[in-house]
Structure 1
Amino acid sequence: MDVSRPKPPPISAGLRGRCPRCGEGHMFDGFLTFRPSCEVCGLDYESFNSGDGPAFFVMSIVGILVVGLALWMEITYEPPIWVHALVAGSLSIGLSLALVRPLKGVLAALQFTNKAEQGRFR
């Protein structure tokens, strides 16, 4: 890897699913599975562990949006319950699938950039 080349911004690299060190290699091998290492610079992805962070942020964001939309729909249009179920179900599943991979990438890139490790007692 070229030492003079600056590191990419972690949020941008994570959202695109790119390597947090070089910004070119792919971070994911499947939908949510990390590759063993970067194919461009060789960064080892085995130490990346975003834990439940992506799930928490996805649930929070999707929950706020879906509940807000449901309240607005009820006040404005008063639709039958099946419309609420159809809209809320579709949005919940769609937004969750759309957000989980980019958020996992961002948390992994921030973990690498900030050199985050498991906490230890002395």
Structure 2
Amino acid sequence: MSETDQQTEERPTLPALLKGWRRKCPNCGSGPLLSGYLKVRDTCPVCREDLHHHRADDGPAYLTLLIVGHLMAPLLLFVFETWRPEPLTLFTIFAVGCSGLSLYLLPRLKGMIVAFQWAKQMHGFGESS
């Protein structure tokens, strides 16, 4: 076993992802992960875990679009075929629905991506300080 394998600790992925979904620190689960809507803190205020290593970039936005598109497109077709609402009514309802769902999912998916990187010790998360 190499020296780096002995130094790295096993970090369970699922609990980290659930903490990320709640926008909490993937290490302690009680400190806030985000300092604003999407700004990741440099360190956890509770356990002092370094969080500045993350590389979430465009991943949360891509996942949000993927999920919202796959949920709303079939729903749009179902509503249109079943009730045939006026086009402006249909547009208004689905524009508000897509916007609301996107705003709900985006910070949660960002937390999950940061937590996944922490659990897998990617991008410097596994280095000891």
Cα drift, residue 21 of structure 1: 1.0
User: What's the C-alpha RMSD, in Å, of the aligned pairs?
Assistant: 1.7
Cα drift, residue 49 of structure 1: 1.6
Q: Where in structure 2 are there 5+ consecutive unaligned residues?
A: 1-10, 125-129
**Alignment deviations for residues 59-95 of structure 1 (CA, whole Å, 9 cap, x no partner):** 0111111111110011101111101111110011000
What is aligned with 1:62? 68
- Among 43, 65, 70, the residue aligned to 2:49: 43
Q: Where in structure 1 are there 5+ consecutive unaligned residues?
A: 1-5
Alignment partner of 1:103 is 2:109: yes
Query: Which secondary structure state, in structure 2, belongs to the residue aligned with residue 67 of structure 1?
Result: helix
Number of residue-to-residue matches in the alignment: 113
Cα drift, residue 31 of structure 1: 0.7
- Alignment partners' CA distance in 1, 2:121 and 2:68: 29
Query: Which secondary structure state, in structure 2, belongs to the residue aligned with residue 30 of structure 1?
Result: coil
What is aligned with 1:3? none
- Alignment partners' CA distance in 2, 1:67 and 1:83: 16
What is aligned with 2:97? 91
Percent identity of equivalent pairs: 33
Alignment partner of 1:112 is 2:114: no
The one-letter code matched in structure 1 to 2:15 is: P
Query: Which secondary structure state, in structure 2, belongs to the residue aligned with residue 24 of structure 1?
Result: coil
The one-letter code matched in structure 1 to 2:63 is: F
Cα drift, residue 117 of structure 1: 2.6
**Alignment deviations for residues 13-44 of structure 1 (CA, whole Å, 9 cap, x no partner):** 10111111111111110111011210111111
TM-score normalised according to structure 1 size: 0.86
Runs of 4+ in 1 over 3 A off after TM superposition: none
Query: Which secondary structure state, in structure 2, belongs to the residue aligned with residue 56 of structure 1?
Result: helix
